Amino acid sequence: MIEVRKHTSLFLTDCDMVVIPVHAKNQYTKSWDRYPINEAKLEYVLAYAQYRRLQDANLVEPGEPVISEGIESKTICWIPITVDVRRRYKMHWIIRSLRRMQELDLHNKYSIAFPALGAYDGEGVDPVNVYKSVKKYLGNGKFPVDFMVDF
């Protein structure tokens, strides 16, 4: 079941898992402060450090989710869906991430807060297509998925 949520921050959700879009490469370290990464690194310090270590070791693949489980109060699912902070999100990497999340059966383990990617100018994807993809891959799980419009 997918529910569209408005006026709720991704970081104030009641969901068990928070999905955070990130970039796969660490080429421009001074440019890491793109929302929601800047907020995530303050809210989920240890999970963010885990992701950065994997990224620095070149172990992050575009479209392959990185799960930070048992580190923070919530499980964090980092989805690398752009090359670097200056680039737009890639729909094919979003779909690859969603397929992998489905394969990992995350929608049957956690309630999920998924950001409405494309809702803001310059993100490079259509939020309606993102919603349809989230519904297709995660909409039939045991737990709800909140599609966070104002993330």
Over the stretch 84-117, which tens digit does the pLDDT of each residue have? 666 678 899 999 999 999 999 999 999 999 999 8
Name the amino acid, one letter, at 102: Q
Query: Residue 65: CB partners within 8 Å, gap ≥ 6?
Result: 77, 78, 79, 97, 100, 101, 104
The rounded radius of gyration (Å) of the Cα atoms in the chain is 14
**Cα–Cα distance measured from residue 20 to residue 35, given in angstroms and rounded to the nearest whole number:** 10
CATH code for the domain in which residue 124 is found: 3.40.220.10
Write down the pLDDT at residue 84. Answer: 65
Write down the pLDDT at residue 41. Answer: 83
Domain that includes residue 137, residue range: 2-148
Tally of domains within the chain:
1
Least confident among 32-46, 94-108, 125-139: 32-46
